[in-house]
Amino acid sequence: MLPDQTGQKIVAATTWLADLETLVTFLSEDKQTWVVLLQNNDELRAAGGFPGSYVLLNVDQGRLAEIVVEDIYDADGQFNGYVSPPAGIKEYTSANRGLRLPDANWWPDFPKSAETILRFFALGNKPHVTGLIAVNLSTAQKILSVTGPIWLPDYQVTVTDQNIGEVLRAERSEFFPGSSQKKHLLSQTLTQLKQKLTALNPDQQRQLLAFLLSEVAEKNIQVYSLQPTLQAIISRYRLAGTLGNTADWQAELTQCQCQPVWVGLVESNVGINKVNKFVTRSTKIHFDQDSTQVTTTFNNLATPPTETELSAFLAKPALQRPRNGNGYLNYYRLLISPQYELKTITVGQTNITNWDDQLLTTSLGLELRQIGVLVAVPEQQSSTVSFELTNQTELPAAVAIYKQSGLPPTKYTLSTPNFSQEFELRTDSLISL
């Protein structure tokens, strides 16, 4: 008898209270360990950014008992086995060592990456981890924009939203496995940040909450739990970082009585540098009766390395040395519904003859075709990559566009012979044609 919107709000509130009760009960049980993966999206990877460090949150019956900062290479050093690497890792990052923990967030579907990461932790003598929280550098920057600068007395440096990437960046030749300097630097930063957060006034608290909700929507905060009930709650509140979630679009899909064509573009920096903060991109997707074209233009605004930077690069071990100065080496993947088959790839004026092409299934059961190719963008230059595909179906009624974790808002143009729309991609988006 209630109006539809009132009834929906009551159902939503009831669900929220039940989920909150489940969450509180779960977190209050026994001892738990959560891994917070600190991802630097200045060095972009499929699930966010390069994970140079992580934090162990040890929870005892709902109380945060201990916070431990660790280096990703310490955990990686505990694993002596070999895991067959996926395409892209095999050719560009593994150095014949197989898949390793620092590269394990290779899958854009976050539950897949999280499962792989936690498997490495289990093999590396950390078998009792409850779940994983991935946080990108951009989230830390937004938090600092609210709290203001942090002073680190032991290092005589002020950390701001503008320089946190440089201050906390783990130069792989400076912070070796077993080194305590990196852990101490991060620990002091977290301690000072905690003090700042407890001193926020109500207006700052509201501003911080708005920022965090935005970061969740943009997948800069992603969560995974090994406990199925808790994972269902995580997914319901859009924290799971899944690829193929259409829950927010049910009304539109019911109206068009269709299933969308999925398109996703995924970047992975395999150049071992922090150049992504200087890279911009724009994408055009055009559907025609017989073919589909997906074209992205990258601009690398970084300047070539100085003589001092070149000397520092050359001083690093070979596996830790940037491969292309401040150039952007991008293993670029197109994810698209499997009825579309690749015809050609061009990078600049060059026709590419070798690429990776495989079918995959996401954690939600969505089937996709994945096409991968290496794209190089030198300093102060641009590069355009274009995928031409053949259609096996008529023009789509709707297109679902996947937004990668760690990417800033990106300019898109979506068109057909009778339709064109320009927009900025911030979250997964459904476009009705």
- pLDDT under 70: residue ranges of the chain: 1-11, 170-179, 311-323
Question: CA 141 to CA 162: how far, in whole Å?
Answer: 7
What is the spatial distance between Cα 279 and Cα 172, in angstroms, rounded to a whole number? 22
Sheet holding 381-390, edge to edge: 350-352, 341-347, 381-390, 291-300, 279-287, 410-416, 419-425
- The β-bridge partners of 199 are none
| 3-state SS, residue 29 | coil
Q: What are the pLDDT digits (tens) for 148-171?
A: 999 999 889 999 999 998 887 744
pLDDT at 300: 97
Whole-angstrom distance, CA of residue 323 vs CA of residue 329? 8
Return the pLDDT at 3.
56
- Please tell me the pTM assigned to this model: 0.91
Q: How far is CA 145 from CA 60, 96, 159, 430, in A?
A: 32, 42, 11, 31
Cβ atoms of 232 and 22 closer than 8 Å: no
Cα 166 to Cα 148: distance, rounded to the nearest angstrom: 17
- pLDDT confidence of residue 172: 43
pLDDT in tens, 270-326: 998 999 999 999 999 999 989 999 999 999 999 998 877 776 666 665 555 666 789
Q: For position 112, what pLDDT does the model report?
A: 97
Q: Are 34 and 122 in contact (CB under 8 A)?
A: no
Neighbours of 20 (CB within 10 A): 11
Beta strands in 378-418 (DSSP E): 381-390, 398-402, 410-416
**Best CA proximity match to 283, nearest among 379, 374, 407, 376:** 407
Give the DSSP per-residue string, 150-217: EEETTTTEEE-TTTHHHHH---TTTS-TT-SHHHHHHHHHHHHHHHHHHT--HHHHHHHHHHHHHHHH
Altogether, the residues listed in the chain come to a count of 433
What's the CA gap between 270 and 43, in Å, rounded? 8
Residue-wise pLDDT for 69-89, tens only, equals 999 988 898 888 999 999 999
Query: Encoding tokens for residue 56?
Result: 């162990």
Q: Decide the pairing of beta strands 48-60 and 31-45.
A: antiparallel
Dist CA 319 CA 173 (whole Å): 10
Distance CA 117, CA 262 (A): 26
CA angle 332, 336, 337 (to 5 degrees): 160
